[in-house]
Amino acid sequence: MTDNVQMLDADHCWKAVAARDRAADGSFFYAVKRPGVYCRPSCPSRLPLRKNVSFFATVEAAEAAGFRACLRCRPRALAGSDPAAAAMTELSRYIEVHADEELPLTRLAEHAGLSPFHLQRAFKAIIGVTPKAFQTAARLKRLKSNLRAGDGVAGAIFEAGFGSTSRAYERIDGHFGMTPGAYRAGGRGETIAYACRQTALGAIMMAATARGVCFVQFGDTEARLLDQLRGEFPSATLEPSTSANSPQLDAWIDALDRHLSDGAPHPDVPLDLRGTAFQIRVWRFLLSVPSGDVVSYSEVAAGIGSPKAVRAAASACAANRIAVLVPCHRVLRGDGALGGYRWGPERKRAIIDSERQLRVAV
């Protein structure tokens, strides 16, 4: 077999494919005669026979030779043009708009121009969850919005698309942290203690329910941070922490302050995680990343069992509202660049450097 581009070293390329080397992604693509697809070197598919493999420098060259993009590793994403990703993103917007309607897989497949089987597989690979799970999350988001607007609980449930109140209650666990009625009341009946400290990285506020820490944010001033907390729970009872009325929270934020300002070990505190099931899977994975280590968004997606849901994993990191304690700062871009951080790249770099220095010292 003759490789199509003389500049490619076939032996070197094959070693990278056999090792599923992520570092080689983008430098070349390999194609397999049967089933006629081309992949990135790190594709998790079963290793093909060497005699059935050819190598290409670009996705255009592979497609010109008659191969189609692999649905598992989505090589076109490396070239910045992934039709499947664009199609599934458009479909996710369609689901959000029509979340209150019945959306059987056949209807979604017709809209996307795919078979139900391929639609299900592509959507889960790219978005990270099934279309049904995505619609449920969209309904819960709409329910949350309706409740905060002051709608009655029963009316908000039906307007969000749930056929009954019992069906809605089956799906709220982990999304509100409280009943729909309590959420509609803006957290009425919920007591949240909060504390603020000036750290080496600026002002930080921590807040906690009886279940654990639910809010850690950096900000300019304590007043602005308190406004953010009130915005999430406008009718909750917010209590400033003191050593007398909430000694645990006072100790937790002191430990976090020592970690940020003096290089003390990362504090181990209980967390009240509130998000979608997918987000919580990502956040729990981040909690398993050792202090001082870093991972890529691809490794996060693989770590939660959804290796193709890289964009969804990145979105879950961006949605994290518990700074440092849920260590989304330990996630870098695939090329090793720092990437984004909702509290600023300077803080991200400072926290990573501090954790690495602490690990060396230990």
Task: Report the pLDDT value the prediction gives residue 78, as an integer from 0 to 100.
Answer: 63
Residue 155 has pLDDT above 70, yes or no: no
Average pLDDT over residues 170-181: 44
Residue 132 has pLDDT above 50, yes or no: yes
pLDDT digit string (tens) for 9-35?
Answer: 899 999 999 988 877 888 899 999 988
pLDDT grade for 274, boundaries at 50, 70 and 90:
confident
Say which of 39, 43, 70, 196 is annotated catalytic: 39
Task: Report the pLDDT value the prediction gives residue 69, as an integer from 0 to 100.
Answer: 85
Residue appearing with tokens 């700074």: 323
Contact 264, 200 (CB under 8 A): no
Average pLDDT over residues 116-142: 77
Note the helical H segments in the chain.
10-18, 59-64, 83-97, 105-112, 116-127, 131-148, 153-159, 165-170, 180-184, 222-232, 247-262, 277-287, 297-303, 310-318, 345-361
Active site residue 317: no
pTM given for the model = 0.51
Active site residue 73: no
pLDDT digit string (tens) for 61-104?
Answer: 999 999 988 877 778 776 555 566 678 878 888 988 887 778 88
Query: Among 146-150, 239-243, 286-290, where is mean pLDDT lowest?
Result: 146-150
pLDDT grade for 241, boundaries at 50, 70 and 90:
confident
Say which of 43, 70, 214, 328 is annotated catalytic: 328
pLDDT grade for 143, boundaries at 50, 70 and 90:
low
Residue 252 has pLDDT above 50, yes or no: yes
Percentage, residues of the chain above pLDDT 70: 79
pLDDT grade for 271, boundaries at 50, 70 and 90:
confident
pLDDT digit string (tens) for 199-233?
Answer: 889 999 999 888 788 899 999 899 999 998 988 77
Alpha carbons 62 and 176: distance in angstroms, whole number: 47
Average pLDDT over residues 100-122: 86
**First CA to last CA distance, the chain:** 54
Percentage, residues of the chain above pLDDT 90: 21
Residue 169 has pLDDT above 50, yes or no: no
pLDDT grade for 166, boundaries at 50, 70 and 90:
very low
Task: Report the pLDDT value the prediction gives residue 156, as an integer from 0 to 100.
Answer: 47
Residue 163 vs residue 145, higher pLDDT? 145
Residue 145 has pLDDT above 80, yes or no: no
Task: Report the pLDDT value the prediction gives residue 83, as an integer from 0 to 100.
Answer: 66
Contact 33, 52 (CB under 8 A): yes
What mean pLDDT, rounded, does the chain reach? 79
Alpha carbons 28 and 10: distance in angstroms, whole number: 10
pLDDT digit string (tens) for 297-343?
Answer: 999 998 888 888 888 899 899 989 899 999 999 999 877 788 888 88
- Radius of gyration in angstroms for the set of CA atoms belonging to the chain, rounded to a whole number: 24
Dihedral, CA atoms, 185, 186, 191, 194, nearest 10 degrees?
-170
Task: Report the pLDDT value the prediction gives residue 144, as an integer from 0 to 100.
Answer: 61
Domains and CATH numbers, the chain: 10-79 (3.40.10.10), 82-185 (1.10.10.60), 191-262 (3.30.160.70), 277-361 (1.10.10.10)
